[in-house]
Amino acid sequence: MFALSRSTRGIAVIVFTTLLTSLAGCGFLKGEGDKDAPGASAADEVGRPLNDMELPVSLRTRDTAPTNALQLEATSDQLRVEGKPVLALANGKVPATDQNNGIVPKLEAAFKAASKSSLALRLQANLPYETLALILNTAKQAGVMNVGFQVREVGNSNKTGWLTADNYVMSSKADDAPNIPGVTPYQWEEFTAKWKDVTEACRTAPTGNCAYADANFARGGVLKIELFSSGRGINIDFYQRGLTPEQEAAEEKRRAKDLAKKKEDFLQGRISNDDMVTFLLLGDPSTQALFQFRYQEALSAPSSLTGTMAPMCHTRKCGVVVAADSISPMVRVVSMMGAAFPDGTSAPAYAFEQPWTKKAPANLPEWANQVLEKEQAKTATN
């Protein structure tokens, strides 16, 4: 801020310099040989370098840096590969005209030309999740198997490191658990056996909204684990998925049998009216457990997200879906990953959700499948 005691002469110099800059920017001071090159745009010019302090922060920074990897850097204005401009971004977003069904053609061409299996990312912390998903999906289509995020330590430190996601996969937006090669999914009941431990860990968070360790849970199926970012909240969610028709029938039969037994106990006076009401109020067995935190929980060590994930995934390799709203900033997504699996824990296998896809409910009844098939057939003929 300029002090009031600055001389009038100093102010005049500043105004004159500003005027010259404006005139130059408007083209008034260009000579005949200073015309813009044909087709010049923000994508053709060397953009500003990304400062280390603009990188997302993480409690995981000590992964091995990607070797022989293609270098990609993205700011809110530009996407560069190996330092060369590839695409202009609009506030960090890939323009609709530069993407096609989850692929960025200009970026795909750069990936294929380089022919490398790893990608090293330097991404501005406020880039939206959809841009990350487009980059990763395009890279996967071009044969890239591994990705490393350059991050910096939490706080005001400018020390940088890496968080890696080797052999990552891309998944459609769906209720069902994606297939993640090399990982054996947990059974749902392996989670329910540890539900209480997970809830107790969640409750160490001042801002945690922790799913009650319900004794009335469903049986059968496999476990889907999801890290989800939306607004200022971040979630660790556990879902029962992958029920076979036989398991669904067995679950309905068990529920009906339990209800019949309770009714008989009530009629015979073996349980009170209050006990019967309590049973009925339990409702359908639980098929999910959602644990929500405010974003700041991902920035403190030890993090409550670490403890919440520990009972299930810190002694055995897990498959984990990373999902977020399209506009969720990179920093929240990466910080969430780093807090769930900080330095000193084994990395999971990641599946990154494609936010542009449509979500189909899990275990659809036959009539719903038929409706969807008819709609798809109608769309294909139009």
Task: Give the 3-state secondary structure of 269-282.
Answer: CCCCHHHHHHHHHC
Q: What is the pLDDT of residues 98-134, one digit of tens each?
A: 999 999 999 999 999 998 999 999 999 999 999 999 9
Quick one: pLDDT band at residue 219, thresholds 50, 70, 90?
confident
Of 30-34, 284-288, 331-335, the range with the lowest mean pLDDT is 30-34
Q: Angle, to 10 degrees, between the axis of helix 304-313 and the axis of helix 330-340? A: 60
CB atoms within 10 A of CB 167: 13
Nearest to 67 by CA among 182, 180, 166, 168: 166
Per-domain boundaries in the chain: 52-168
Any idea which residue has 């945690």 for tokens? 208
CA 75, 81, 82, 83 dihedral sign is negative
Give the pLDDT score at 46. 72
DSSP element (H, E) containing 69:
none
When pLDDT is cut at 50, 70 and 90, the band that residue 253 belongs to is low
Question: Average pLDDT in the 145-168 region?
Answer: 95
Whole-prediction pTM = 0.78
Place of tokens 């920017």: 25
In this prediction, residues 232-239 reach a mean pLDDT of 96
Q: What is the average per-residue pLDDT within 346-362?
A: 87
| Cβ(346)–Cβ(241) below 8 Å | no
Closest C-alpha among 186, 175, 51 to residue 124: 51
- Write the single-letter amino acid at 135: I
pLDDT for 26: 41
Nearest to 88 by CA among 140, 43, 31, 135: 43
Helix (H, G, I), strand (E, B) or coil at 297: helix
- Determine how β-strand 78-81 pairs with β-strand 70-74: antiparallel
How does residue 175 score in pLDDT terms, banded at 50, 70 and 90? confident
Give the chain's mean pLDDT: 83
Phi, psi of 237 (to 5 degrees): -120, 145
Instruction: Name which of 34-43, 155-164, 204-213, 327-336 the model is least confident about.
Output: 34-43
Q: How many residues does the chain have?
A: 382
Facing residues of 170 across strands? 352
Residue 23 near residue 29, CB atoms below 8 Å: yes
Q: Read out DSSP for 342-369?
A: -TTS---EEEEE-TTSPPB-SS--HHHH
| Beta bridge partner(s), residue 161 | 151
Side chain identity at residue 152, one-letter code: R
Which residue is associated with the tokens 């999914």? Answer: 185
- Distance between CA 1 and CA 256 in Å, rounded? 75
CA nearest neighbour of 86 among 69, 62, 70, 102: 70
Torsional sign, CA 251, 256, 262, 268: negative
The stretches of the chain forming alpha helices (DSSP H) are 8-26, 105-114, 129-141, 188-192, 195-202, 245-267, 273-281, 304-313, 330-340, 366-381
